């Protein structure tokens, strides 16, 4: 394995995050802090507890995870799309670097940036609401697994997109609606039976549920099911990316 190539791609993408720190770090942290102020502070004082957890604390895992999802997709999709747009992708493809190493570099950098921002938001959340983490090791594992899975999804979007508009289409029309309908602000057990069953078709439900379990030991879906569904999504993204590199789809003129 060409470790030097992976590190070089990783460092280049990580440096881009530092150059755009206002957009990459400060903006998502401030946006999430506003959610805590409005939902956790203003509305939380008038909301009943959910599963024995104060409302402000209950929404914390979902808000952290929603930011990590959005950042993972955005970082990875832009990271691979821009070389395609500028034409430098051909230099990468002609270098002695395998497709696996290219994916490791770009996806690793995107996931790492998302995890770091997620941890910053976690610390920030503690300033607004009181909560404890029941399973910190599993929380970190869920955070990393989710970041990697959706960085792969973002990488896939960056490979197939033909324009910057298309690059924004999937996050805007798919990720954002599924996130808000994925139990971030409520428990799906509160829904009528039909809508609860329909919610189980939303992959974000399993991510939020599993991540919330690592905080409070309570979830809408079994933690084992959440892990399996996340792993399945990750494998599907890997398979699609492997096919694109093997077929050269959208990579070769």
Q: pLDDT > 90: what percent of the chain?
A: 18
- State how far Cα 222 lies from the chain centre: 20
Residue count of the chain, please give it.
253
DSSP string, 100-163: HHHHHHHHHHHHHHHHHHHHHHHHHHTTTS----S-HHHHHHHHHHHHHHHHHHHHHHHHH--S
pLDDT digits (tens, 9 = 90+) for 163-217: 888 888 877 788 888 888 888 888 888 888 888 888 888 888 888 888 999 998 8
pTM of the entire structure?
0.87
Q: Who's near 70: CB < 8 A, 6+ residues apart?
A: 28, 171, 175, 176, 179
**C-alpha to C-alpha distance for 141 and 70, rounded to whole angstroms:** 18
Q: How far apart are CA 67 and CA 49, in angstroms?
A: 24
What CA–CA distance (Å, rounded) separates 211 from 85? 36
pLDDT computed for residue 155 by the predictor: 92
């Amino acid at each position: 394995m060409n470790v030097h190539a992976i590190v070089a791609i990783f460092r280049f993408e990580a440096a881009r995050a530092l150059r755009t720190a206002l957009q990459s770090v400060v903006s998502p942290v401030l946006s999430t802090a506003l959610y805590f102020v409005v939902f956790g502070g203003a509305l939380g004082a008038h909301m009943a507890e959910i599963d024995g957890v104060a409302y402000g604390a209950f929404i914390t895992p979902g808000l952290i995870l929603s930011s990590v999802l959005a950042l993972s997709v955005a970082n990875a999709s832009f990271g691979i799309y821009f070389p395609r747009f500028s034409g430098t992708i051909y230099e990468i493809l002609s270098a002695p670097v395998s497709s696996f190493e290219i994916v490791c570099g770009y996806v690793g950098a995107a996931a790492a940036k998302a995890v770091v921002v997620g941890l910053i938001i976690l610390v920030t959340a503690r300033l607004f609401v009181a909560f404890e983490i029941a399973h910190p090791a599993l929380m970190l594992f869920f955070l990393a697994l989710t970041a990697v899975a959706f960085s792969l999804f973002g990488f896939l979007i960056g490979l197939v997109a033909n324009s910057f508009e298309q690059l924004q289409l999937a996050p805007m029309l798919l990720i954002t609606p599924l996130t808000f309908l994925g139990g971030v602000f409520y428990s799906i057990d509160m829904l009528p039976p039909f809508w609860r069953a329909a919610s189980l078709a939303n992959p974000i439900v399993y991510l939020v549920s599993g991540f919330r379990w690592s905080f409070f030991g309570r979830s809408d879906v079994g933690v084992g099911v959440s892990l399996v569904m996340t792993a399945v999504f990750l494998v599907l993204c890997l398979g699609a990316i492997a096919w694109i590199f093997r077929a050269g789809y959208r990579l070769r003129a």
